[in-house]
Structure 1
Amino acid sequence: MKKYDVIVIGAGSAGLGNSGVANVLGLKTLLIEKDGDNFGGDCTNFGCVPSKALIHIANQFHQAKSAERFGLKTSGKADMGRILDHIHQMQTFIKDTEDAAALRKKGIDVVIGEAVFDSRDTLKVNGETHTARIILLCTGSSPRMLDIEGMDSVDVYTNETIFFDCRKLPENLVVIGGGPIGCELGQAFSRLGSKVTIVNRGDRLLNKEPEKVSEILETRFKEEGIQISSHAEVQFFKDGKAGIASKEKDILEIPCDAVLISAGRTVNTKGMDFDAAGIELTEKGKIKVDEYLQSTNKKVYVIGDAAGSYMFSHGAEKMVRQLWRNLLVPIFKKKNTWNDLSWVTFTDPQVAHFGLTEDRLQERGVEFQRHDQSFLHDDRAIVEEYTYGQMSLWLDNSNSTGSKKILSGSMIAPHAGELVQELELAKHANIPISELNDRVYPYPVAARINQKTIRGILEKTRKLWKLKLARMVFRWFH
């Protein structure tokens, strides 16, 4: 039996982060990954990296077509084979620093194989037994699959297959799911030349975002020719068509030669014999995890998608930091919360959010003030044609307006993910909004919209007596 301080199962964002921290601390560490080609996990292989590369290419197509109104002539269509080859090349650059060989050079033991629990603190891999002081489950998640009549008659993709198998651009692509993956890839394929229909069970796209954000995004999608069916489900595929049932209409049949399933994700739990380790699952099949990321086996912690709370690669990064803070300073441990979480949906326009949503603020009884800011009269938005943009800030209820602190923020605009970063920093550092108001921004940087929003908040509470006093002082001295 081989003994370790830490065993990490899974080489995705959470697994790489945890094994890296343990190794830097000088702890004897074993990293187990069942697929030698899967180092980097979903983000590197099937998610963030390939999808953003695809979006980058699709945006170039869109910009070229948009320039035709100024005289540019374009022709041809997307060559998916060449696009995928380019994406794989970009992935190779990234994966070279995080594969098994690179990790072994750093001093981390790496085993390729499937881990199965033998007891509460022992695992078997490839017939060998390993034990550790703690075991970290970083097994990730997989796309939730659907069983729809006639699926064998069309090409079916998920985010785990589309970047490898889709080497011919679909003429008619049906996207099932109106969440971030469905919206990002749906728009990308539309810009590359596919006729895209997004079928969404909910009442709007990106339903965790403010309603105004969903409304703006849907308007932009429709302007680009993307069809959206809400309150709808795909009932069948037959004769090159998809049958869509919705509340508003009878079954509508539309052309379909490929489908992308983006209907949520499920936690990876199969084949590890959790019973032998005393690890319990919920009724929905998720791993039972407490607010400190511990499973029902106190020697086993769960990090990343496997924890079943928020499924982002940077969410895994957040959990890694919290876990090791608690492991090394077990007094006044920090809980796993949504408080400092942020996310970006990389559509065009981008959708960015940080902090608790308004619903969660209300659930927790947090008193707040909300301010909405249109981009309609923002100079940068005018010249770059994104006056449809919208920002909302949620502030604490301090008596003095200038001393108010930012609780949360939401923005839809090109590069929204970059623009909100200073606002998120202000929230994290408890900087009062008066500090942002006092800044001098170069004209016309896009981030001036942040100051414009803050000034709108201050102007709402400007007292008439202060203006009167200012006039009196001016006239007295001048």
Structure 2
Amino acid sequence: MDKFDVDLFVIGGGSGGVRAARIAASHGARVRIAEEYRLGGTCVIRGCVPKKLFVYASRFAHEFTAAAGFGWTVEGTSFDWPTLIANKDREIERLEGAYRGNLERSGVEIVPQRAVITGPNEVELADGSRVTARYILVATGGRPNLGLDIPGRELGITSNEMFHLPRLPASIVIQGAGYIALEFASLLAGLGSKVTVVHRGDKLLRGFDEEIRERLSKELEAAGIALEFGVTIDSIDATDQGRRVRLNDGRVLLADEVMLAIGRVPNTVGVGLEAAGVQLNPNGAIVVDENSRTNIPSIYAVGDVTDRVNLTPIAIREGHAFADTVFGGKPWVVDHSLVPTAVFTEPEIGVVGLTEEEARAQGRRLDIYKTDFRPMKATLSGSPSRVFMKIIVDQKDDKVIGVHLIGEASAEIIQIVGITMTVGATKADFDRTLALHPSAAEELVTLRTKHDSSDLPEQSAESTPAI
């Protein structure tokens, strides 16, 4: 008889943990998965899925306005926050049920309790029972960073609470300039809130291409979002009217809500990792090798808890690779070097590969192709929003090593671009691809003129005949 109760015990029922559990079970492993809250993890329950639903809701206001230029008369529109929340909750419940059903059909035993590691091959459940496992997989994800040590911090909300507010805030102050802060800033402004973004730095979206960062700032300000750079929140007080926010330059802002979106941290507190001897980074992330294995041979970790690339598709792929490698006899590793990424602001951003700054820092000689144009839709809608595209090419071998987009449908376009770059497409491959006209995406295969940062022509791709 096997000395272990199970072959695999997974702590965390998010996307990475669920995928690992299902695939391991399909290879014949005896698997249990513990989740103390709800199956689906951050992405499904209080992250990218509900947030994208909110983004869709916020964009209807722009569509109603744009419709007039195309002959439509749209009158008497109104928005009801409780309806959005209720419909969102129903969809999340449906998705959680799908996760549960997939696990059960795979033969995975679900444990609706908190689990803590008590040794290299043992976990203790909240009810006091203990389970031994040949392998333990930690997939506990991340959580909002609450490290802002200011008076009244408890009066602020995070992205978690935003999905459950009883009413749409008429005004909100958001501290942070990453994609979470800016996506909420953009969607709340679209729904009618007065939004102020507070950021200690001088630019948004650290780590993105500089031209994308600059253009997003202009677009957000044009949408009525106030951007306050070089300041932070010093304190938050409760008043009869809402929240009083004091900035470190002495100014005072009044708002219904204050959102603290200064990043996320690995969710490793109270998991028992230190007691088991698992090595952690200074920020609390679990240190793993390319196979997601920790310094303890029987303990692995995948997803945001490792702080490698914190995206749901990465967690899913890491979980799959772990299960195939350990239980399926089909070892493989996840390539984290080329990951398509989107920021669902208005307009949205899509990027894949290196930024111009990263490529130059590596000493590469580059050819830069870029365009800035008014999309066809804007010619009748009257919208001032524009589309910007940038292709970065390595002169050494003509390989496309970075593509950066900002404008409508950028996320959908960048997924396909990611495929081409994954198979090693060159600029010549882009050039010999026929354009689909009229579309914004055609610019990616019609760009021929190289530009530097001070040389950018004015174009209107969709509204100009292909001649």
TM over 0.5: yes
Q: Tell me the CA shift for residue 203 of structure 1.
A: 1.6
Higher alpha-carbon deviation: 60-69 or 215-224: 60-69
Match for residue 16 of structure 1?
A: 18
Q: Which residue of 2 aligns with 1:470?
A: none
The Cα shift of 1:343 comes to 0.9
How many residue pairs get aligned? The number is 441
Deviation at 1:173, TM superposition (A): 0.5
Kindly tell me: are residues 325 and 349 of structure 1, through their superposed partners in 2, closer, same or farther at Cα, counting changes over 3 Å? same
* Aligned residue in 2 for 1:241: 244
Partner of 2:300, secondary structure, is strand
Bigger RCO of structures 1 and 2 (CA < 8 A, at least 6 apart)? 2
CA contact (8 A) 1:351 1:417 kept: yes
Q: Quick one: structure 1 residues 275 and 212, their matched pair in 2 at CA, closer, same or farther if it must change by over 3 Å?
A: closer
* RMSD (Å), alpha carbons: 2.7
Cα distance change of structure 1 residues 3 and 360 upon mapping to structure 2, 3 Å threshold: farther
The secondary structure found in structure 2 opposite 1:96 is helix
Structure 1 residue 79: Cα displacement = 2.1
Q: Which residue of 1 aligns with 2:351?
A: 353
Amino acid at match of 1:428: T
Does the 8 A contact of 1:40 with 1:98 survive in 2? yes
Shift of residue 52 of structure 1? Answer: 0.6
Q: What is the CA–CA distance in structure 1 between the aligned matches of 2:106 and 2:29, rounded to whole Å?
A: 12
Partner of 1:268: 267
SS in 1 for 2:449: helix
- Residue of structure 2 equivalent to 1:78: 79
What is the one-letter code of the residue matched to 1:3? D
CA shift for structure 1 position 337: 5.4
Gapped regions of structure 1 (runs ≥ 5): 459-478
**Map 1:40-59 → 2, pairs under 5 A:** 40-59=40-59
- Normalised by the size of structure 2, how large is the TM-score? 0.86
**Taking structure 1 as the reference length, what is the TM-score of the superposition?**
0.84
Change in Cα spacing, 1:443 to 1:361, as seen in structure 2 (3 Å) is: closer
Match of 1:376, as an amino acid?
F
| 2:130 paired residue number | 129
Shift of 1:142: 0.6
Q: Kindly provide the amino acid, as one letter, of the partner of residue 33 in structure 2.
A: L
Is the 8 Å Cα contact of residues 374 and 387 (structure 1) preserved in structure 2?
no
Secondary structure of 1:169's counterpart equals coil
With 282-291 and 141-150 compared, the bigger mean Cα shift is at 282-291
Q: Give 1:109's aligned residue.
A: 109
Indicate how the Cα distance of structure 1 residues 323 and 405 shifts in structure 2: closer, same or farther if over 3 A, else same: farther
**Residue 150 (structure 1) aligns with:** 152
Q: Which residue of 1 aligns with 2:391?
A: 393
Query: What percent identity do the matched residue pairs reach?
Result: 24
2:27–2:328 Cα contact (<8 Å) kept = no
- Asked whether the equivalents of residues 10 and 139 of structure 2 are also in contact (C-alpha less than 8 Å), the reply is yes
Q: Which amino acid aligns with 1:456?
A: T
Match of residue 214 from structure 1: 213
- Displacement, 1:73? 5.5
**Structure 1 residue 75: Cα displacement:** 4.7
| Contact 2:10/2:21, CA 8 A, preserved across alignment | yes
1:429 equivalent in structure 2: 423
Q: Is the 8 A contact 1:339 1:356 kept in 2?
A: no
The structure with the largest alpha-carbon Rg is 1
Distance 1:370 1:85, change over 3 A: farther
Q: Give the Cα separation in 2 of the matches to 1:186 and 1:215.
A: 16
Look up the match of 1:464: none
Residues 20-419 of structure 1 mapped to structure 2, 5 A cutoff: 20-35=22-37, 38-67=38-67, 72=73, 74-75=75-76, 77-99=78-100, 102-125=102-125, 126-145=127-146, 146-151=148-153, 154=155, 156-164=156-164, 166-238=165-237, 239=239, 240-245=243-248, 250-324=249-323, 326-327=325-326, 334=333, 338-362=336-360, 365=362, 367-376=364-373, 388-398=386-396, 404-419=398-413
In structure 2, what is the Cα distance between the partners aligned to 1:374 and 1:322? 39
Cα distance, 1:362–1:446 mapped onto 2, change above 3 Å: closer
Following the alignment from structure 1 to structure 2, what is the Cα–Cα distance between the partners of residues 316 and 359?
Answer: 27
Distance 1:435 1:273, change over 3 A: closer
CA shift, 1:282, in A, is: 2.6
> Is residue 338–residue 355 contact of structure 1 (8 Å, CA) maintained in 2?
no
Q: Is the 8 A contact 1:77 1:193 kept in 2?
A: no
> Do the aligned partners of residues 324 and 424 (structure 1) sit closer, same or farther apart at CA in structure 2, a change above 3 Å counting?
same
